[in-house]
Amino acid sequence: MERSAFDDENDIVNVDTIEDLRVNEGAANEAARAWSAWLACHASTEVAGDAILQAFFEEASNMQSLFDIPMAAQAGKLVAALTELVGCMQNKDGLKRSLSVLGYMHMSINVPVGAVLIFRDAILSCMRKDLGSNLTETALHSIGRLVIYVGGAIICIRTICEKRNALLISSWKESHSVEEDETGDQQEDEQADEANADKKAAAAASKGDVDEAEFVDDSEFIDSEKFEEEQRSNCSGGQAKGVDGSVALPTTFNEMFQINAAVMGFQRAGTSWMVDVLEVLDALVSYITDTKRRQEETCLLALRLCSHEKEEMVFSQFKACLLAALRSTLPKTWTGEHEEAWSWLWDNLVYTVDSAMRKIPTYSENLSHVLGSISAKRLFKLRKDIYSRFFQLASAGQNFFKQSNTRLHFIADRVLELCQEFFQDPTGMISTLSSLGFRHVGFGIPTELFNPFITACTQVMQRYTDNKEAQQAFQWSLILTGSVLVRTIKEGSTVVMKAINMNSAKALQKAVTLAPRGQRATWLLHVQIGDQFISPLMWAIDSGSLKTAEAILNDLLTIRADRHRYYFGSDELFQRHPDFVRRLADKAPDMLPILLDGLVWRSNRTVKNGTKRRVNYFVKNLMLDAKGKFSDALKSIASTGNPKYIVHPVVTLMVATIWNGLIRRQFAVSRLWNVVSLVIYISSQEVVPGMIEENPESKNMKWVLVGVRIACYTFGIGRLGAVQLHKAWIWSRNTFRKILAEIDTDGNGEIDYDEFKEAVITFKETVSTEVKKALKLIEVDEMELFAQEKAAAANKQGKLYNRISFSVMLLLSIMLAQDPLFVCSGADDWPTEKCEEVDAALMYRYYLFGCLGMVVHYLMLIDLAVFNTEIAAFLLVVGSVMGEMTQFLTALTFLLLLFGSTTSIQCRACPTLGGSFNDMPNAVTTLFAITVGLYQGDYRDIQEDPVLLTCVFTFVTFSVVLLLNLLIAQLNRTYEYINQDMIGFAQLNRASLIVDAMESCPKTKWLRFCATLAFDERKEFDEGDMGLPGCIQQEEDPSENRIAHEMIKRYGGSTARSLPWPEAKASKRVDLDDEESRLEHIETVLQKTLRRMDRMESIAKRRHEGSSLGLSGVSGSSSISGSSVSSDDSAMSGGDDFF
């Protein structure tokens, strides 16, 4: 590279001190003119900066990794900084201010001294190349000295900042260490308790009282709910209270800051813009050594502060409150160095934030104007050009943008929208981008593709607008968006998420071996960045990585234990995902058995002389939600309609427990009214009228008839109507509560008038939609129809009962209107059923509806079969085969109509001895009587008419011989299929009844029932081994489930929660059902075979070398031959292993 002629002293970079730059006024002015002239030689500042960077990278390619933002943006920032420095050559204060900011922005970058000289030479070579003779030696010399001066100052500032940064971080942590101190004290107490427990265990073991490996200290068991409550109370704001309830003095940094703001008269600011600064300040100090994160937080702070009135923001007020709060929280350690460090940090932060805030309003206005003025046609071409340019810059991007063109255009549109939204709602944008970044974690998108994409978008935008401010705004917003996304992806790309992307259970197991035992479940359930989090387990399920999802679920539901505590991920699983069973039933129902199996612990030891085995069913989280209400887990399992899930021991126990302890009596009382109603109905329609017929003159019996019929209509219509209204009320209440929860937009838990009006309107629309769906007036989308079908399959019996009860109420209402006893209420001799208003037609209608009413009253008793599983299963089988009967009756109806209409045409004057075939109705009736065996005639009565006889024989062949036998075969096949799961279907029906009954179960009754289950009490695993709470313990026959090994994984050694579990030895057993396990086994065998082949080859080589040197005799040859044979045998042994 071409170098200018400099004195040796100018090549020395001063990195020890920052002195004044000695350049006279004439040289400074000449340097400024030369710089301006050089910039005029280029189309834009980005082009000029790109020329410098290219020249620099040619000589120092290893420095390219330090420039991690798009090159166009980097080039523009470089030229802007150099222009500012050249302009300040004669302004010492301005130059120092600029140097301080540059040092602050680059204090975490290690700049070598040699790189400063190379950078100086790159700038000067570019200027000499473009300006030629117009560049004077004075200007060249001055600019060179400026670059060396600035480079040395940046290196010097970095050295100083290393001490300042350490001081800032330590003092910030110390000022926020109230909670950490409490946690530390708790950990110290825990370690002390563990040490005491070890001593107790050793003493007990020496006496032979208890096995040390099974010792569990009750005091060390961690109640997860209590732990979570303590964490929430520790993190909550507000003033602390002492033991006596008095208000304690503020001790935390935030409390001290607010008090100082109030004392200084800044209370209003302390609750507005100062809150935004405090939130960002924590991230700034915590990541002060990360240049990119610091710049990102600075830009975000500037965007957030732009939403406040500029007049109310006085940064010196915040500085005063900040330093006062720090002094108050660090009274013993605060020194002048602290004061200097924090003042330096705040001054530089204010300078950078203030510079950004001056640009943001202009950026926002220009960018919105330009994007709003682009026509739809040009916008379509812009989106297309973005991808064309991106694929030119990074061809690897084509492997990830595999969606359709419409989806790609949607993504490009969303990019443009995000750039505008950053100026409007920066806080909301961080949440949006964090969520988007988490999705990219699951997609496995390389972060290296973001810079080319940003460059492509920026370059394309420059073609569509000449507005420089809009170009800079678009680039600035896009870089900030990319920075947040890249950071989210990097922080979210944990070893667990990488294993999920690979869908490898083996990689997942390796990943979680590094997790502390106290955080192992959290690693599998929670990855958080900012206010956004993603669940690796749910991401694996949603993305279809079911192998890793099963591995995660098995790991969470494996009980592990050391001497002091048990670790079981069930509670944390349902705390993180209260709706986990529902989501599993919807998206991966095949994983439900894995979940249910993991909630069962069976002892490998027997009790009661080997006749019983302890079993703990951890059903608490399946029965109770976080608020102590009845969980929807049973409803979700039943909604699958799969009888195999419902007969799982866990679900069977849960259903039996709730049914026997809570629902059976409630259900029996509700169904007892049906029996009473049936007795009253029989009395009113059969018993009492029969007694009146025997004694028609008895006035008392007629009044008894009036009484029983009034009771019949009252019990039937009134009670069933009340039941239907109660169900409607329950549905309305639950629906309205759900709407209110969704409408609560401000999130304060209270509903104002506007929110209530919106909720009422939404509720009316929901009711109207449900009514239309019930009446089939609107179409239902496929997903909702699928969900309804699943729910219908689970609640088939319940829906049948509802329809029957509604039919009873309807028939009784009709009978009340047609009842001759009440129609004749105006008669003089009432009560009577004979009067002028009552004719034969009315009596016929009343008796017809009375018969139907009797049928439906008896059908209502079918619901009582739920008390006996076998009877319920039989009824379900009967209901299941009704479909086959429908097909048979359809085919039979077709044959009846076909042959009935045919014979009626031919037999206008046929004899009636063999049946009436003269018209179609009589012909159909006669043929049906022949089919069901009620025909009283003989074929010889119609043999005089061969055509009629042929038709009848043909009909009988098809209907009786074919259809009836085919029906029998179909019923047999269907019964065989249904019979396998009929107990499951019966259990499914009972579960659905439980779910319906729990909607109207009083809260107090439910709480009393839960108290009897004692979920908070720890249950024994084995004798003397107090285990985990949240379970129901039972005993089973050991022959039902063979358990050869302990289901709890127990570990010795240290019991610290911060340590990972010891690595378990790899199992040599090959799972033939797992493809990954089989491939791993083949790979292992091949590697062993190759190693043996290598050993054979080395032996043969040594034998060959020995014989060629004449060092082996006959015996030696025999020895080598023997070795060869031995090796061959070894190889064959390896081959046997392989096969």
- Cβ atoms within 10 A of the Cβ of 1088, count? 14
Q: Judge whether residue 780 has pLDDT over 80.
A: no
Distant-in-sequence contacts of 350-353, Cβ < 8 A, 24+ apart = 350/315, 350/319, 351/97, 351/100, 351/101, 352/101, 352/104, 352/105, 352/298, 353/298, 353/301, 353/302, 353/305
Q: Kindly report which listed range (175-179, 256-260, 1009-1013) carries the lowest average pLDDT score.
A: 175-179
Instruction: Give residue 943's pLDDT.
Output: 65
Q: Judge whether residue 439 has pLDDT over 70.
A: yes
Element (H, E) at 560: strand 560-561
- Cβ atoms within 10 A of the Cβ of 559, count? 21
Q: What is d(CA 465, CA 445) in angstroms, rounded to the nearest whole number?
A: 30
Residues near 1067 by Cβ (< 8 Å), separated by ≥ 6? none
Minimal CA–CA distance to 193: which of 222, 150, 228? Answer: 222
- What tokens does 502 get? 């690979």
Distance, CA of 59 to chain centre: 50
Q: Kindly report which listed range (309-323, 696-710, 1019-1033, 1061-1075) carries the lowest average pLDDT score.
A: 1061-1075
Q: Judge whether residue 1025 has pLDDT over 80.
A: yes
- What tokens does 868 get? 């006996």
Which has the higher per-residue pLDDT, 878 or 359? Answer: 359
Instruction: For tokens 């989308």, name the residue.
Output: 781
User: Would you place residue 249 in the very low, low, confident or very high pLDDT band (cuts 50, 70, 90)?
Assistant: low
User: Would you place residue 271 in the very low, low, confident or very high pLDDT band (cuts 50, 70, 90)?
Assistant: low
**Most confident among 325-334, 526-535, 1109-1118 (mean pLDDT):** 325-334
Q: What is d(CA 164, CA 736) in angstroms, rounded to the nearest whole number?
A: 58
Question: Each residue of 344-356: pLDDT tens digit?
Answer: 888 888 888 888 8
Question: Each residue of 574-591: pLDDT tens digit?
Answer: 999 998 999 998 888 899
- Dihedral (CA of 998, 1002, 1008, 1010) sign: positive
Q: What is d(CA 822, CA 943) in angstroms, rounded to the nearest whole number?
A: 56
Q: Judge whether residue 747 has pLDDT over 70.
A: no
Minimal CA–CA distance to 808: which of 862, 845, 861, 856? Answer: 856
Contact 532, 571 (CB under 8 A): no
Q: Kindly report which listed range (7-21, 227-241, 870-884, 1069-1083) carries the lowest average pLDDT score.
A: 227-241
Instruction: Give residue 146's pLDDT.
Output: 86
Amino acid of residue 58: E
Q: Judge whether residue 866 has pLDDT over 80.
A: no
Phi/psi at 1041 (5° precision): -140, 115
Q: Using the CB atoms, write b or e for 1095-1125: b if 16+ within 10 Å.
A: ebeeeeeebeeeeeeeebeeeeeeebeeeee
Alpha helices by DSSP H, 557-591: 570-576, 580-587
Q: Tell me whether the omega of the peptide bond preceding residue 831 falls within 30 degrees of 0, making it cis.
A: yes
Section 141-154 average pLDDT: 86
Distant-in-sequence contacts of 820-829, Cβ < 8 A, 24+ apart = 820/846, 821/705, 821/706, 821/709, 822/709
Minimal CA–CA distance to 949: which of 958, 937, 940? Answer: 940
Residue 244 three-state SS: coil
Q: For the chain, how far is it from start to end, CA to CA, in angstroms? A: 66
Section 190-210 average pLDDT: 45
Contact 563, 1055 (CB under 8 A): yes
Minimal CA–CA distance to 322: which of 245, 257, 249, 391? Answer: 257
**Inter-CA distances, 866 with 661, 664, 794, 797, Å:** 15, 10, 14, 10
Q: Kindly report which listed range (206-215, 472-481, 987-996) carries the lowest average pLDDT score.
A: 206-215
Minimal CA–CA distance to 532: which of 582, 484, 564, 600? Answer: 484
Contact 994, 655 (CB under 8 A): yes
Helix axes 336-373, 468-492, angle to 10 degrees: 120
Q: What is d(CA 494, CA 975) in angstroms, rounded to the nearest whole number?
A: 52
Tell me whether residue 447 is exposed, middle or buried, using C-beta atoms within 10 angstroms of its C-beta: 0 to 12, 13 to 18, 19 or more.
Answer: middle
pTM over 0.85: no
Q: Tell me whether the omega of the peptide bond preceding residue 516 falls within 30 degrees of 0, making it cis.
A: no
Section 735-755 average pLDDT: 66
User: Would you place residue 821 in the very low, low, confident or very high pLDDT band (cuts 50, 70, 90)?
Assistant: confident
Instruction: Give residue 649's pLDDT.
Output: 92
Instruction: Give residue 573's pLDDT.
Output: 93
Q: What is d(CA 603, CA 1047) in angstroms, rounded to the nearest whole number?
A: 7
- What tokens does 702 get? 């007629």
DSSP for 1110-1132 reads T---HHHHHHHHHHHHHHHHHHH
Q: What is d(CA 100, CA 81) in angstroms, rounded to the nearest whole number?
A: 12
**Inter-CA distances, 940 with 888, 937, 946, 949, 1026, Å:** 29, 9, 11, 9, 87
Section 717-746 average pLDDT: 75
Q: What is d(CA 454, CA 450) in angstroms, rounded to the nearest whole number?
A: 6
Instruction: Give residue 1134's pLDDT.
Output: 38
What DSSP designation does 249 have?
Answer: P
Question: What value does the mean pLDDT of the chain take?
Answer: 78
Q: What is d(CA 681, CA 850) in angstroms, rounded to the nearest whole number?
A: 9
- Cβ atoms within 10 A of the Cβ of 342, count? 22
- Dihedral (CA of 937, 941, 946, 947) sign: negative
Contact 53, 67 (CB under 8 A): yes
- What tokens does 919 get? 């018209």
Q: What is d(CA 1005, CA 853) in angstroms, rounded to the nearest whole number?
A: 36
Contact 270, 257 (CB under 8 A): yes
Minimal CA–CA distance to 875: which of 887, 888, 863, 858? Answer: 863
Beta-carbon-side half-sphere exposure of residue 428 (alpha carbons within 13 Å): 9
Section 940-969 average pLDDT: 81
Q: Judge whether residue 434 has pLDDT over 90.
A: no
Instruction: For tokens 């390389």, name the residue.
Output: 446
